[in-house]
């Protein structure tokens, strides 16, 4: 896929047709499908019809389809972020060296969060989603835990909608400060207004905390919040799953029958063997935050990938908080890959045992297929499987930092970055093309972001 006028012309041809009448044929790519029945195809073609992948293989003939010459590229599934607090994006790296959860809570949740207006929610969430698209994340779960009013929630959902990302809005009430106390009751209104169809880009989940230690019992998952989710027929994402107290809560949830495949446990760091056993037995999903645990020092500070795999759980990956961390999936994959392999070797050092290492295919699987499953979207996205929605990346394999292409999965995990992603499709719609995120007035966005940041910093300093 050439970068330049040819690519721009192809984009014009694609957009000339409404989505329902659109056919796009990518030709000559190395296709990393992440579908075990298909695998990797060298010099393969992929056909998108409307919003759906309809065929993958060599030598496809698609008649009147718009043809994209994808020679010298890797086609891959879009990455899936299973947990990010998107509203914070205008405060990126404002606390890069925060070294414990308490300091983060004090500065971000007791300080900045309490002064956010609905327009600040919109700006932060939109910025996070657009940047996710730029770095190849086509699905993002926004753990929106600053829902101070119905208007704050609406702003967060509308920001996801306006970017065109496949978004999951996990709504939770604020930890601290003054708010309308509308959550979780307001979830019914949100669902009716924004999530009336099961066949749309946005889905709704209930967000909660594992225990009441951080912000009190009202936000802690248990039978009452489980009933709310069940009545609305939505899944649950539980954040701050750490240590002994969360382990005890997990055992209670299992006893109460409210732990299962529709519940995602985020971090899952420092849990007991008994907790892991019931998580595996009940089919609960896990969202790891590799840089968050390691860099901030959460609980043991070791991402719980080995524990998850031992329990039969293949986890999804997530970004968590951009106030302190990188916002792309490449960083998450590389961090987890390095930490797990370091830990594996260190565990057996000085013995005759062999280390149990994960590989690059594992972490790419976590970032795509398992992320989709964790978000409850495995039938929709996560692999380049015919019948799934067309959420895909075109990655330049002959760029300076990637050439020559020897191992496409190794290149995606260890070599590539956002600059190599020449195109992103979400639901069949081009959202990045010729290396640029589409339909964004960058100067206007920059002005909006800077104005929002200035307000939040000034208002929190005066609070």
Give pLDDT, residue 61: 87
- What gap in Å lies between CA 91 and CA 449, rounded to an integer? 9
Under a CB-based contact definition with an 8 Å cutoff, are residues 39 and 58 in contact? no
Is cis: bond before 2, omega within 30 of 0?
no
Domain spans in the chain, listed from the N-terminal domain onward? 5-77+380-437, 79-374
- 97 vs 104: CA distance, rounded Å: 10
Tokens of 381: 């996205």
Tell me what pLDDT residue 2 has: 45
Please report, in tens digits, the pLDDT of each residue of the chain (463 residues total).
Answer: 544 434 789 999 999 999 999 999 999 999 999 999 999 999 999 999 999 999 999 999 888 999 999 999 999 999 999 999 999 999 999 999 999 999 999 999 999 999 999 999 999 999 999 999 999 999 999 999 999 999 999 999 999 999 999 999 999 999 999 999 999 999 999 999 999 887 799 999 999 999 999 889 999 999 999 999 999 999 999 999 999 999 999 999 999 999 999 999 999 999 999 999 999 999 999 999 999 999 999 999 999 999 999 999 999 999 999 999 999 999 999 999 999 999 999 999 999 999 999 999 999 999 999 999 999 999 999 999 999 999 999 999 999 999 999 999 999 999 999 999 999 999 999 999 999 999 999 999 999 999 999 999 999 999 8
8 Å CB contact between 292 and 298: yes
Phi-psi region of 267 (alpha: psi -120 to 50; beta: other; left: phi over 0): left
Chain centroid offset of residue 310 CA: 23
For residue 297, CA distances in Å to 62, 118, 264, 267, 334 come to 52, 31, 21, 12, 18
DSSP string, 276-293: HHHHHHHT-EEEE-HHII
For the entire predicted model, the pTM comes to 0.97
CB 68 within 8 A of CB 60: no
Residue with tokens 């309308």: 180
The answer to whether the CB of 237 falls within 8 A of the CB of 143 is yes
Do residues 360 and 32 touch, judged by C-beta distance below 8 A? no
The domain over range 5-77+380-437 is classified in CATH as 2.30.40.10: yes
User: Which CATH number among 3.40.50.720, 3.20.20.140, 3.50.50.60, 1.10.3720.10 corresponds to the domain 79-374?
Assistant: 3.20.20.140
Cross-strand pairs, 157: none
Exposed, middle or buried by CB within 10 Å (0-12, 13-18, 19+), for 350?
A: exposed
Letter string b/e over residues 92-101, b meaning 16 or more CB atoms within 10 A of that residue's CB: bebbeebeeb
Contact 418, 135 (CB under 8 A): yes
């Amino acid at each position: 896929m050439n970068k330049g006028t040819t690519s721009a012309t192809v984009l014009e041809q694609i957009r000339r047709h409404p989505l329902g009448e659109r056919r796009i044929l990518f030709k000559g790519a190395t296709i990393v499908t992440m579908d075990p029945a298909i695998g990797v195809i060298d010099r393969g073609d992929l056909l998108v019809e409307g919003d759906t992948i309809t065929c993958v293989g060599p030598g496809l003939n698609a008649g009147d389809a718009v043809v994209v010459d994808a020679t010298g590229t890797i086609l891959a599934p879009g990455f899936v972020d299973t947990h990010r607090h998107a509203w914070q994006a205008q405060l990126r790296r404002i606390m890069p060296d925060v070294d414990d959860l308490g300091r983060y809570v004090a500065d971000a949740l007791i300080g900045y969060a309490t002064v956010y207006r609905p327009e600040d929610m919109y700006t932060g969430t939109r910025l996070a989603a657009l940047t996710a698209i730029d770095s190849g994340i086509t699905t993002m779960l926004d753990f929106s835990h600053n829902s101070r009013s119905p208007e704050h929630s609406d702003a967060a959902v509308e920001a996801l909608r306006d970017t065109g990302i496949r978004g999951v809005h996990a709504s939770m009430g604020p930890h601290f400060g003054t708010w309308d106390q509308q959550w979780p009751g307001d979830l019914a209104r949100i669902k009716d207004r924004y999530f009336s169809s099961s066949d749309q880009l946005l889905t709704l989940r209930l967000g909660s905390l594992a225990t009441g230690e951080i912000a009190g019992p009202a936000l802690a998952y248990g039978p009452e919040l489980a009933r709310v989710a069940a009545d609305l027929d939505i899944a649950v994402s539980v954040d701050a799953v750490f240590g002994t107290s969360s382990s005890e809560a997990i055992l209670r949830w299992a006893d109460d029958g409210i732990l299962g495949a529709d519940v995602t446990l985020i971090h899952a760091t420092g849990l007991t063997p008994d907790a892991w056993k019931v998580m595996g037995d009940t089919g609960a999903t896990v969202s790891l935050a590799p840089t968050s645990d390691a860099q901030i020092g959460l609980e043991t500070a070791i991402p719980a990938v080995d524990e998850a795999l031992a329990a039969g759980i293949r986890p999804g990956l997530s970004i968590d908080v951009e106030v302190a961390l990188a916002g792309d999936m490449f960083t998450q994959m590389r961090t987890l890959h390095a930490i797990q392999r370091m830990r594996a070797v260190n565990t057996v050092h000085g013995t005759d045992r062999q280390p149990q290492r994960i590989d690059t295919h594992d972490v790419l699987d976590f970032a795509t297929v398992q992320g989709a499953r964790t978000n409850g979207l495995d039938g929709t996205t996560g692999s380049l499987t015919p019948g799934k929605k067309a959420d895909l990346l075109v990655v330049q394999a002959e760029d300076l930092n990637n050439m020559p292409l020897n191992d496409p999965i190794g290149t995606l995990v260890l070599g590539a970055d956002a600059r190599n992603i020449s195109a992103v499709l979400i639901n069949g719609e081009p959202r990045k093309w010729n290396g640029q995120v589409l339909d964004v007035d960058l100067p206007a966005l920059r002005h909006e972001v800077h104005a929002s940041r200035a307000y939040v910093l000034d208002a929190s300093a005066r609070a």
